[in-house]
A and B are shown apart, each in its own frame.
Chain A
Amino acid sequence: MGLLETFARHLETVSPVNGIHAARLAALAHAGVRGLPEISDEDWKYTDIGRLHRIEFNLGRSPDRAPVAVPLAGLEAHRVVFINGHFSAVHSTLDTLPKEVRLRLFHRASTEEPEWLATHLGKLGTGDASAFAALNAAGAQDGVAVELANAYRLVQPLLVIFMNTGELHPSVVSPHLHVSAGAGAEASIIELHVGDGEATSLTNAFTRIETSRGARISHYRAICEAVNATHIGQLQLDIGSDSEVENFSLALGGRLIRVDIDCRLAAAGGKVVLNGVFVAGLDQHIDHHTRVDHRASHTSSDETYRGIADGNGRGVFNGKIIVQPGVEKIVATQASHNLLLSNEGEIDTKPELEIYADDLRCAHGATVGQLDEDALFYLRARGVPEAEARALLVYGFVQASLATIPVRELQALVSSRFANDNEALARILSGNLI
């Protein structure tokens, strides 16, 4: 049974509840019309999702055991935690949120504001919404929508954790995070996707951030899924005038990861910073497709991705920059730095520029290299064993990006995840030195 049929079968078993069910059915129908991507599609030529059609997914499961520990426990933050797709009140701290932050949980909205939820999900079942975005709306067991009031500055970060606990039955979760920032609002948002266990589960995540005039949002999105998991992530950024969004995409854990970042700069003064780090190790496939659409004059984008492929891992970076006709004073830069650590690994990096205007500054560069032999010798001559020296250099390569994350706890989490496979590196990084 294909993925779409699995969803259809599942929706049949759920008794219709007002307009929400209709919106889910419409979204599923939209996904059917769009069709799931195939490698014959230009945008998916590097990433074969055929495995999703061969897995018998179970959509009807309910949350089971609570995870032993929720990550970033030491971070002072407003927490919203979902476990296996369902909101977990015990792990969340909604009561700390000020009134300037309006937070809607889908499971509550389905009874309290059904029309709003139907409308919200309905938006993903029409127009140019992708098949996966539509499937997210069709399947989202729960989700969260956050509105930041005008001029409100959220001091502690908003931490949204989607946890998948280990199970044998392959499940589908559809994490959904929607943020809309009022004029001049400021917030830092951490979105974590964490999994454990061996199951071949699917995370089909949808995130949308829209900002009004002058709003500033930092968004750190980390993927640390379980070893056999597939993660499909759709991220939409819609940036208002004089507003700035910084996004950091960290892809570490999961068998197959595909992240689509679609950024619209449709108002003057809008600015986006896109950073990414991915580490494709043994049997991993990690694909980032980013698309920055400069639709208004005086907009800028600055993108830096660092990727690593090791073992038979494969990393893909495809960065599209579009400058629409008639706009001017555009600054767009893009850099893709990659490290290939093995003969069997593969990196595919491709800038794609569609420039229909003249008044702009645009620079892009892509590199694929190996570890610096001089640096390797330097470390070894100091007494660092070769394996550790290599691990340190690889760590250093990504650290150049990670160091820009202002949240130390998140840096530490990523570093420790990164060091998971390397005992020596973990030891070097442990013990808070100075």
Chain B
Amino acid sequence: MLKIENLHAEVDGKPILRGINLTVPAGEVHAIMGPNGSGKSTLAYLIAGRPGYTVTQGSITYNDKDLLALSPEDRAGEGVFLAFQYPVEIPGVNNVYMLKAAMNGLRKYRGLGEMSAVEFLNLVKTKTKEIGLKDGLLNRPVNQGFSGGEKKRNEVFQMSILEPSLGILDETDSGLDIDALKIVADGVTRLRGPARSFVVVTHYQRLLDYIVPDYVHVLAHGQIVKSGTRELALELEARGYDWLSADAA
């Protein structure tokens, strides 16, 4: 279970999050929606452990572990996976090598031995087909020369290989056409299960047609101003965000 309590965070002295409270039990999908600049991505980054943010108050725990005290790789070891809004290009580092390093890093953290090359490659092959990642992209440097859609698909591909227990999707839908969106959403839906939860950060309701959330939270000015069920997302689509922001301000 992910538990965020009274989380305050700032960047360069500028407050971004002002008291977030959020609980995501195992097996649930929670959507975080909100206008640009509301702090959605900051929240995603803070869960994953990106440097550059200062937490001034509050806590993030996952399965009773204090995530804020852990390095990004140890958080990944605890089961956290962030699908990036802007996946980073890494010249010269082959996609498969990166995944192998990640897989073995995670296994080591969990006290498991390394996966054999054969086992790993079989896994890669199966998932490549499932996600519809072009074969050629596997051995290319990470995200380099990938189209926007291919990058997002690669994020979901990595997630399906590494099988986290908590997936944070940061605007995974942005830049995707409807076909790519379906494939990405299928990939996520396939991963859904009683032991796995998701935090889906999105600006638009569209993604939630395919990844149906259990709860929807609206973030504005660094606070969750409204929570509800899926119907809230539809209402937001119809009415926009202004009515909520006005309430918060």
Chain B residues with CB below 8 A from A225, complex form: none
Which residues of A have CB within 8 Å of B49? 377, 380-381
A433 contact from B81, B96, B158, Cβ within 8 A: B96
Is A434 within 8 A of B51, CB to CB? no
| 1/0 contact string of A2-13 vs chain B (CB within 8 Å) | 000000000000
Q: Are B162 and A396 in contact (CB under 8 A)?
A: no
B102 touches A397 (CB 8 A): no
Asked whether, in the complex, the Cβ of B117 is within 8 Å of the Cβ of A377, the reply is no
A399 to B93, CA, bound (A): 8
Which of the residues A374, A386, A427 comes within 8 Å of B88, measured between beta carbons?
A374
In the bound complex, residues from chain A placing their C-beta under 8 Å from that of B81 are 381-382
Q: Measured between C-beta atoms, what is the minimum distance from A162 to chain B in Å?
A: 29
| Contacts between chains A and B (CB distance < 8 A), count | 110
The answer to whether B100 and A433 touch across the interface, beta carbons within 8 angstroms, is: yes
Interface 0/1 of A367-406, CB less than 8 Å to B: 0000011110111111111101100110111111001000
Extra contacts, 10 of them, besides A383-B77, A384-B98, A428-B100 (Cβ < 8 A), are A380-B73, A381-B75, A381-B82, A383-B73, A383-B109, A388-B105, A392-B90, A392-B93, A399-B91, A433-B94
Per the bound structure, the CA–CA distance linking A395 and B103 in Å amounts to 19
A396 to B96, CA, bound (A): 13
Residues on A with C-beta less than 8 A from B142 are 378
CB distance from A425 to the nearest CB of B (A): 9
Residues 96-126 of chain B, each 1 if its beta carbon lies under 8 Å from chain A, else 0: 1111111111101100001001001100000
Q: How far is the CB of A373 from chain B (nearest CB, A)?
A: 7
Q: How far is the CB of A30 from chain B (nearest CB, A)?
A: 44
Count of chain A residues with a beta carbon within 8 Å of a chain B beta carbon: 32
Determine how close the nearest CB of chain B comes to the CB of A102; give it in whole angstroms: 40
A74 at the interface (CB under 8 A from B): no
B-chain residues with CB within 8 Å of residue A127 when the two chains form the complex: none
B84 within 8 A of A: yes
A429 at interface, CB cutoff 8 A: yes
* Contact (Cβ within 8 A) A392 B91: no
Known: A375-B88, A428-B101, A433-B121. A382 touches B93 (CB 8 A): no
Which of these, A375, A383, A403, contacts B103 with CB under 8 Å? A383
Cβ-defined contact, A380 with B139, below 8 A:
no
User: Does B148 belong to the interface (CB within 8 Å)?
Assistant: no
Set of chain B residues within 8 Å of A372, measured between Cβ atoms: 88, 90
9 A-B Cβ contacts within 8 A? A375-B88, A381-B76, A381-B81, A383-B73, A392-B97, A395-B93, A400-B91, A434-B121, A434-B139
For residue A98, CB closer than 8 A to chain B, the reply is no
Interface status of B141 (Cβ within 8 A of chain A): yes
The listed residue (A374, A392, A399, A434) touching B98 by CB distance below 8 A is A392
CB distance from B156 to the nearest CB of A (A): 13
CA distance A49 to B15 in the complex (A): 56
Contact B72 A388 (CB under 8 A): no
CB contacts (< 8 Å) of A427 on chain B: these are 104, 114
Q: Is the CB of A383 within 8 A of B91?
A: no
CB-CB under 8 A from B87, the residues of chain A are: 378
In the bound assembly, the distance between CA atoms of A372 and B143 in angstroms comes to: 15
B131 to chain A, nearest CB (A): 16
Residue from the list A383, A395, A403, A431 in contact with B76, Cβ < 8 A: A383
In contact, B88 and A383 (Cβ under 8 angstroms)? no
10 A-B pairs with the lowest CB-CB distances in the bound complex, closest first = A396-B92, A399-B92, A383-B76, A396-B93, A380-B72, A382-B102, A383-B106, A378-B88, A383-B105, A431-B117
Can you list, as one digit per residue, whether each of A398-434 has a CB less than 8 Å from chain B (1) or not (0)?
1110010000000000000000000010011101011
Within the complex, what minimum Cβ distance (angstroms) separates B105 from chain A?
Answer: 4
Q: Looking at the assembled complex, report how far the CB atom of B52 sits from the nearest CB atom of chain A, in whole angstroms.
A: 8
CA distance A375 to B89 in the complex (A): 7
Residues of A46-84 contacting chain B, CB below 8 A = none
A384 and B73 in contact (CB under 8 A), knowing A377-B51, A392-B101, A433-B121? yes
Is the pair A396, B91 in contact by a Cβ cutoff of 8 Å? yes
Interchain CB contact under 8 A, A433 and B97: yes
Q: Which of B42-94 contact A (CB under 8 A)?
A: 48-51, 71-73, 75-77, 81-82, 84, 87-94
CB of B138 within 8 Å of the partner chain: yes
The CA of A424 and the CA of B87, in the complex, are separated in Å by 24
Set of chain B residues within 8 Å of A395, measured between Cβ atoms? 92-93
Chain B residues with Cβ under 8 A from A434's Cβ?
A: 96, 121, 138-139
* Cα-based distance from A398 to B75 in the complex (angstroms): 29
Alpha-carbon distance between A392 and B96 when the two chains are bound, in angstroms: 12
Q: How close is B44's CB to chain A, nearest CB, in angstroms? A: 10
Pairwise interchain contact B97-A393, C-beta atoms closer than 8 A:
no
Q: Which residues of B contact A377 (CB under 8 A)?
A: 49-51, 72, 88
Most buried by A among B72, B81, B102: B72
In the bound complex, CA of A77 to CA of B97 (Å): 29
Q: How far is the CA of A81 from the CA of B48 in the complex (A)?
A: 53
Nearest Cβ on chain B to A414's Cβ, whole angstroms: 13
B101 touches A386 (CB 8 A): no
Whether the pair B91, A397 counts as a contact (CB closer than 8 A) is yes
How close is B102's CB to chain A, nearest CB, in angstroms? Answer: 4
When distances are taken between beta carbons in the complex, the residues of chain A under 8 Å from B88 are 372, 374-375, 377-378
Kindly supply a per-residue 1/0 record for chain A positions 241-254, scoring 1 wherever the CB is within 8 Å of any chain B CB and 0 otherwise: 00000000000000
- B139-171 interface code vs A (CB 8 A; 1 in, 0 out): 101100000000000000010001000000000
The CA-CA distance from A388 to B108 in the complex, in Å, is 13
CA distance A382 to B155 in the complex (A): 10
Are B92 and A380 closer than 8 Å at their CB atoms? Answer: no
Whether A383 lies near B93 (C-beta < 8 A) is no
Give B90's nearest chain A residue, CB to CB. Answer: A375
Nearest chain B CB to A363 CB, angstrom units: 20
Q: Looking at the assembled complex, report how far the CB atom of A250 sits from the nearest CB atom of chain B, in whole angstroms.
A: 15
Please measure, in the bound complex, the distance between the C-alpha atom of A418 and the C-alpha atom of B121, giving whole angstroms.
25
